[in-house]
Structure formats: structure tokens, C-alpha cells
Chain A
Amino acid sequence: MSCCPFDLRDYFFEELEATQRRDVETHLQACAGCRTEIEGLRMARQALLRLPDQEMPRGIAFVSDPVLDPGWAGRLWSGARQWGFAAAMMLAVLFFGLWMSSRTEARLVQKIAAMEASHAAEMRDVEQAYRMVVAQMNEFYRREAEVRPAAFRQ
């Protein structure tokens, strides 16, 4: 059981606040046992730190590979942007469909009007021809009526 006011190991690993550190340091000046404990920890850490860092066999540079770079198309199609893009595309398709539909309808109306106009002109021609035929027939019968009584009279 340590006689130190705080855990010596927390002090050693620098996890105590400034005031707590000062209390431990004051205690260490008077306590040989705790100094020995700290010295053991220090030597163990020193030994660990003498283990040299290992060099990497080669550098990690794969992220510069353009294959992994999403590029402008990939960036466009990422995160929230993809939903915005999809929504914009759907709206564009919808508006295009509506525009095409209204255009077709206008064309149909135009075609029907032209057909109706053509039909009315034809009807007018037929009516005119009919009237001419009727007038000619009337004229024929009128002349016949004038000629026949005279013949009977002869």
C-alpha cells in the first residue's frame, strides 16, 4: 500500500492535475520508498524507449493512385449531393414528359382544326354543286312545261 496521497503511477504517467502533482512532489522529497517506486517505473520506461523505431519497408502512397480518387463524377455522386442530383434528374424527366405531352396535344388540336376546316370547305363545295344541279333540273322542268302544252296543242 502506497503512502503517497495520490497514485504514484498516475503521477508518473502525467495524468494528475497540477495541484495533485505538486502534492506528490512534496511527498517524494520526504519518502524514499516512493522515490524507489518512481525510479523503477522510470527505468522500465527508459528501457522501452531505447527500442528503436522500425523503418517501413516502403512508403504508403496508394492514396495518390488516381483510381482511388473519386474524380468529379464520383464527388458529384457522393453523400447528399447524389440525392440532390437524383431529384434534379427526376424533375427534369418529369418536366420533359409534360412538355412533350403538351406539345403533342397542341399538334393534335391543330390537326383536328385543319381537318374540320377542310371538311367544312368540302361540304360547302358539295352544297354548291347540289344547288347548281337542283337549279339546272328546275330550269329543265320549267322549259319542259312550257314546250309540252304547245305540242299537245298542236
Chain B
Amino acid sequence: MIFREVEDRDLVLAARKGNVDAFNRLVSRWEKRVYNYLARLVRDREDAFDLSQETFLKAYRHLPRLEDVDRFPQWLFRIAHNQAFSQFRRERPEVEAPVERAGGQAIAVGGRGIFPQELELAVADALEQLSAEQRETVMLKVYQGFKFDEIAQIQSCPVSTVKSRLYAAFDLLKNVLTPVA
């Protein structure tokens, strides 16, 4: 007997017919990823949790508007993106485009004797040096594994912009996180 895990599209279709349990299953599948994406983007755990709740509430209410049920993840992250950047604009405009610290201080993450906590701090500090858009692009590519065209849809920008954001971010991260030879 072949067991097939229920796919997101089946849950989305069921949820669209008013099946709340189906939507709850979607929430349990995606909540941690959405939360971590938002936590790394807004850099505040409580804000990230509130935004996650708002994201899923909005998704639940607007589910009938989702045209392509196979693109639920991109659509969900698009909502999360809008929630986060609305908050940036509303409450903390200075966060939207933080000043990039050109040529940030190099941290020896690859060197011997570095502790996990130090590595964590080094990475967090490196991410802090990115603009919100660059940081988000890194989150969506490295942590969420979206393709460039999917990120372009989430961020509502051309693929070329996605690439330039990601490549600029990695140029900076390479410098900051380069191991001391």
C-alpha cells in the first residue's frame, strides 16, 4: 500500500471550502519557517510572532483569492513580506534601509577555537550589516530555498534586482565571515 502525504495543494483546496482543520495543518507546516523568516528580518521575536499571526490570519481570510494553489508557499511569504515591510514603514522607517557598513570588520568564523555562540553572534552581526531587502533575499534563498523567480514574486521586483541584492549581500558576507587564514 502506498501512503501519500497530503500535499499543500490538497490542504489549500480543503481550507478554501471552509475546512478549518486543513488550514490548521497548513499553519503547523509553515509557521516555524514563516516565523524564522520574519524573526531574522525584523530582528524582534515578539514582533515576528505577531507578524506571523497576522500573516496566517490574512492568508486564511484571503485564501479564496489565491489563483494558483500550487504556489501557496510563495503566496504565503509574499503576505509575510508585506506584513514586515508595512511594519517597517509604519513604525520604524529607519530599519527599512539601514546604512551599510562598507568593509565590515572581519570575523574569523572558520578559524580554530571559535565557539558556537561566537559564530552565532558573528553571523547575526554580519546579517545586521545588510539592508532589509538584502537580508530578506538571503533569508529567502539560503534558509527557505526559493528560486530567483519565486523571490522576485515575493518581493515584487525583477529577477535582476533579486540577483543584485543577493550577490551584493554575499560579497559583504564573504568579507565579514571570511576565515582568518
Contacts and interface: CB of A to CB of B under 8 A. Distances in A.
Contact of B167 (A9, A49, A63, A70): A9
Nearest to B30: A60
Is chain A's binding surface mostly helix, strand, loop or mixed? loop
A79 B64 contact: yes
A45 to B, nearest CB: 6
A58 B28 CA distance: 12
B179 A43 contact: yes
Interface of A: 9-10, 13, 15, 40-41, 43-45, 47-54, 56-64, 68-70, 75, 79
Contact of A50 (B18, B56, B116): B116
A120 to B, nearest CB: 67
Nearest to B27: A60
Contact of B123 (A40, A47, A59, A68): A47
A10 B160 CA distance: 12
Nearest to A74: B18
A47 B148 contact: no
A47 B124 contact: no
Interface stretch (B45-53, B70-78, B87-95): B45-53
Contacts of A68: 20, 57, 60
B17 to A, nearest CB: 8
B132 interface: no
A53 B45 contact: no
B118 to A, nearest CB: 11
Contacts of A75: 18
Most chain A beta-carbon contacts within 10 A, residue among B36, B122, B174, B179:
B174
A63 B142 contact: no
B105 interface: no
A50 to B, nearest CB: 6
Contact of B24 (A43, A47, A57, A63): A63
Interface in B137-170: 138, 141-143, 147-148, 163, 166-167, 170
